[in-house]
Structure 1
């Protein structure tokens, strides 16, 4: 079995009207429950991006190879992940089926990538 990262970019849900978000949340939680009941859910969650009035500890940071810590990547960047859904399934087709369910629930396209397998872990 392989693990797959199903994710969407930050801002991918910006087109959704505010009044629709409660239903989006319910639909997304339903897919999470379904995946958990099917025994394929490893982890899921949205990425927290702080605002100026929130704790500094919530701000993203980059740690370089020499240990230097810098702020960022910045929320204005288009390369930020907005949410993740990790499943362990026997085939890529099954991962794509779960991605389709997440896409429908979250009302945005999903990126699907397989994790490398390491027998030593």
Structure 2
């Protein structure tokens, strides 16, 4: 088994976003989208492939060590971009192909008018060991 992180991006650059942004959906459309996400997670719980998931607030702060004194803080996430991590899900699957299959299914969550939004999801494997350098 291998664990993968599926990052749900929201408001990516228009060339990658073929759906109406969520702030333009009706409350019923938002509810249908969330219900799809919950049903998807429940299905994966039944198969043993679900590890965890969480939606994220759009508010955020970036913090960096300032070397001395108080660290600099920047309001985020990156206000100059339209990309935002809206949430994540961790899955534990037998193969990379299965991870791709599940990410594709999650990408089809309904949006405006109940149509699949076919959003981009970032799929990343967990690092199972630290990289090393052989000389």
TM over 0.5: yes
Q: Which runs of 5+ in 2 are unaligned?
A: 13-19, 111-116, 131-135
Q: TM-score, normalised by structure 1?
A: 0.74
- Cα 1:21–1:43 shift into 2, 3 Å: same
1:117: how far off? 0.5
1:65: how far off? 7.3
Q: Pick which of 12-21 and 97-106 moved more.
A: 12-21
Q: Which runs of 5+ in 1 are unaligned?
A: 51-58
Of 44, 49, 73, 1:40 maps to 49
User: How many residue pairs get matched?
Assistant: 111
Say whether residues 1:2 and 2:6 are aligned partners: no
Aligned to 1:96: 100
Structure showing greater Rg: 2
Of 59, 71, 75, 1:72 maps to 75
Aligned to 2:39: 30
Classify the secondary structure of the residue corresponding to 1:48: coil
1:78: how far off? 3.4
